[in-house]
Each structure stands twice: as C-alpha cells, then as structure tokens.
Amino acid sequence: MAELPLDFQDRSEMIEWKSLQDEAIKASKKAYAPYSNFPVGAAGFVSDGRIVSGCNIENASYGLTLCAECSMISNLLMSGGGRLVAVVCVDGKGELLSPCGRCRQLLFEHGSSLGVPTVDKHSTGGVGDKITLPLAPLVAACGAAVPQLSGRGLGHTGGTLDKMESIPGWQASLSNEQMLKVLKDVGAVICAAGAGLAPADKKLYALRDVTGTVPAIPLIASSIMSKKIAEGTSALVLDVKTGSGAFMSDPEKAKELASVMVELGKRAGVNTRALVTAMDVPLGLTAGNALEVRESIEVLAGGGPGDVVELTLILAREMLDAAKVNGKDPEVALKDGSAMDRWKKMVRAQGGDPDAPLPTAKEKLVITAERGGTISSMDALKVGISAWRLGAGRARQGQAVQSGAGIEIHAKPGEKIVSGSALFTLHSDDVERFERASKALEGAVSISENGEVAERLPLVITKF
C-alpha cells in the first residue's frame, strides 16, 4: 500500500486516546440536552497538536439543534482551523459513541487522511463463507486499505471472528489506536466492532423480536447499514447471499434487500454497491473454523477451491473499483505471493502466529455414499446445521465454539462417485455429537444414476 503522509504518521503516534476521551467527557458535562436526555461530548486532536472539544445543545424549537461534533468543528474553525487527526465522542456516562452519518461526513471534510482509499466488504453470511479472510489482505496488497469490522457466528452460519480466533494468539478486540496502527502498517485489519458502534441497533433488534418484525427487509437493511455507515469507510461492497444456506433464501427477497442497502449507503455518502450471490451449495470444501482458515490460506497460496477463488477475485475487483484504485490485478497478487505476505503481516499485527499449526478436532467420522453415480445437488442448510451440531457454531450469543470442529466436503454437484466413496468427514472434539450431526446430513446429497445435475443458482446472480 502507499505510505501514509509523514505528518499523519508523526501526529498519530502522539495521540493519547485516554486524554482525548477525558476532554470529551469534560465537554459532555457542559451539554444542554433537556429534551433527549442524552448529553454528548466530542474532542478532536488537531494536526498541530491542539485539542478542540464541543457538546450538544438543544432548544425548544429544534430538539437536536447543535450536535457535539458540529460544536467541536465550530470551535476548531474559530481557533484557527486545522486538520483533525483523531476524534472521540462520549455519552453522559463517558461511554464511547460513534458519530452519526451526517457528522461522519462533516468530520471527514475536516480530517486527515490515511493516504490511501478505504473500502469495506459485508456478507450476509452462509455455509463455508470464508471469503473475508483471503479478500482483506488481497485488496490491501492491491492498494486499498480495508478496515473490516466483523462479527461472530450464530446458528448455522459461521462468523469471521470465530474463524480468525482459531489462529493461535490472534486477538479480535482492538482499541481505536491499535486498529488505526494495524491499518496504517498493514493496510488491512479484521477485528470486532466496539460497543459504541451503532449502540441503538441492539435495542431496536430486541423490539423487532417482540413485535415479529425481524424478517422485515427495511429493518434488516437499516440494522446492517447503520453499523457499516458508522464505521466511516468511503466505499462499501455488499455480498448478499441467497439460497438454502442463506438467511434470505428467496432470490427475489435477496435482491430487494440488496437494492435497499445500496440506496441507504448512497444516501449516507458511502459509495455502495451490492452483489447477490449463490448459497444453495456450500462455498468451498469446508465448513467450520480452523478448517476454513486452512482453505483460505490455500487460496492465498495460489490454490484452493475454484468457487472460493472466483468469488474472492470478483469481490476484490469490485472493492478496488468502488475505491477508485487502479493498482495491481488481484489475480496477480494471489500468484506472486504479495497477498499471502499481507495476510501474514495482518495476523502477526494482531498477536497471531501465521506459521503455527491450526487446531484439529480430537475425533473424525467419514460419511460415505450408499451408491454410485453423479452428485446432482447438495443442500447448504443441512451441511451448515451439521457443522453447527459438531460444535463449529453456537445456539446463543456468548456460547463457546470448537475451533477444530466442522465438515470437509469430498465431492460436490457435478462430480462422479462410486459406492463407498467419502462424501463428508465430520470433525469434533466430542464423539457423541456425531449422531445428531450425521442425522442433519440425511437427504443433504442427491445422487443421479444417469448423470443429471439439478439446476443451480449462478455464483453471481445480479449486481446493484
């Protein structure tokens, strides 16, 4: 990636985040918020070393007249101007907050730059969806910075952080300062979102749950985009999955969701585009945590399953185009080792050892074909549920997962097999999990004796 401006590097190392937060807390004490009862303070570190601050002020005519960020910018301009290097916002209790979309744009206009365009990718999730792992370092190797705030899995869909945490020593939780440093030094960071990122979303989700509106597309779109917009990236590519293994299994509903999210992003000033992609069959040949990391490393080494490589390259090109970066061809970056180098740097920067052996499950069970023929179809949902029952996923938030648990897929639709051929290898630390996991796979694979293959969704169905 391009080097950051020296003045930005020098100033960013001078930032004392605790002092900046303390100044924001002081400012919040001056806030006047009798209508919202939500005082906010903001403090910014200026490129010349000054700290400016502001608070929200309300009046009876307009309930949210002057926000803390706008007040801070006013004080910046009145004190001689300058470029902001860092900003901290807090509520009346001193808890960190993310600026709203309007204020992010204002701060962007008065802020220092990383020196390279930033672009993020969000997937709605599926079975075997490990694309973020090779994608982030690949795009960074081609010249764009990737601040990837990811989540954990719930149910049959795996979480990016669960996969990454199977790497010995790797840390998901970073402070703002640590995240900025990794992004500056490496060009890509995959980490957990802070508690202050779109804090109202959890409360709104709980309300949707009790009112039966969880499936409402406008509310799903708002929930996803509130967090992605709050991250502050200048460009965003959405990978909206559809098919049996996706939460939005109906392709038409998936298209509607993609369209709404793109519109929300554009209205917030983020260059947003979306691809609706197939999740009727598992992506790649593994579903699990360490298993998917291993497969991702194969892709970065220039190999890996064809569908994973193809989708990784498609999304990489979309991200680079959205960020207006005309750098190295992503396919070249996979072949010449530069993407792999960036991966290793990214893992090391977050405390991980990219050369350490990945965890393996204590027990294995091979599922074989009862007859020969051609695999006609494979149900992604059944494979995902089986991996979940093996310990690769969780039934509730906060539940631990097994790093080595999951499924290896030995043959996919269109491939010929003989009776007794291995279809799946189940991995788990608990042998008692195999019975329920095997039951979930009943009917997951259809075998045709005449070579017919069921119609599948194209890998990329449409783009917005």
Phi and psi angles of residue 417, each rounded to the nearest 5 degrees, phi first:
-135, 165
From 104, 110, 122, 184, the catalytic residue: 122
Same domain, 343 and 393: no
Is residue 463 one of the residues assigned to a domain?
A: no
Same domain, 305 and 205: yes
Same domain, 127 and 267: yes
State yes or no: pLDDT of 298 exceeds 90: yes
State yes or no: pLDDT of 234 exceeds 70: yes
Is residue 368 one of the residues assigned to a domain?
A: yes
pLDDT digits (tens, 9 = 90+) for 191-207: 887 655 555 556 665 66
Same domain, 98 and 125: no
Same domain, 90 and 125: no
From 208, 348, 394, 410, the catalytic residue: 208
First and final C-alpha spacing in the chain: 28
Residue 142 is predicted with a pLDDT of 94
Tell me, what CATH number does 439's domain have?
3.90.1170.30
Is residue 354 one of the residues assigned to a domain?
A: no
Domain boundary among 66, 82, 109: 109
Same domain, 194 and 167: yes
The alpha carbon of residue 129 and the mean position of all alpha carbons in its chain are separated, in whole angstroms, by: 11
From 26, 30, 222, 223, the catalytic residue: 223
Tell me, what CATH number does 193's domain have?
3.40.1030.10
From 201, 321, 341, 429, the catalytic residue: 201
Same domain, 250 and 323: yes
For 321-347, give one letter per residue: b (16+ CB within 10 A) or e. Answer: bbbebebbebbebbeeebbbebbbbbb
Is residue 403 one of the residues assigned to a domain?
A: yes
Same domain, 139 and 38: no
- Please check whether residue 278 is in contact with residue 242, taking contact to mean a CB–CB distance below 8 angstroms: yes
Same domain, 339 and 411: no
Is residue 61 one of the residues assigned to a domain?
A: yes
Q: Specify whether 341 is catalytic.
A: no
Q: Specify whether 208 is catalytic.
A: yes
Is residue 456 one of the residues assigned to a domain?
A: no
State yes or no: pLDDT of 5 exceeds 50: no
Question: From the CB of residue 292, how many other CB atoms can be counted at a distance below 10 Å?
Answer: 29
Helix, strand, coil share (%) of the chain residues, nearest 5: 40, 20, 40
* Choice among 59-68, 169-178, 419-428 with the minimum mean pLDDT: 59-68
Is residue 413 one of the residues assigned to a domain?
A: yes
Is residue 1 one of the residues assigned to a domain?
A: no
The structural domain count of the chain equals 3
- Please check whether residue 102 is in contact with residue 134, taking contact to mean a CB–CB distance below 8 angstroms: no
Confidence category of residue 229, pLDDT binned at 50, 70, 90: confident
From 26, 83, 181, 227, the catalytic residue: 227
Q: Could you tell me the residue range of the domain that residue 388 belongs to?
A: 363-448
Full-model pTM: 0.77
Q: Specify whether 122 is catalytic.
A: yes
Q: Specify whether 223 is catalytic.
A: yes
185-189 mean pLDDT: 92
Same domain, 264 and 144: yes
Domain boundary among 109, 142, 157: 109
Same domain, 235 and 306: yes
Q: Specify whether 433 is catalytic.
A: no
Same domain, 264 and 124: yes
As given in the structure block, the two tokens for residue 157 are: 């869909």
State yes or no: pLDDT of 63 exceeds 60: no
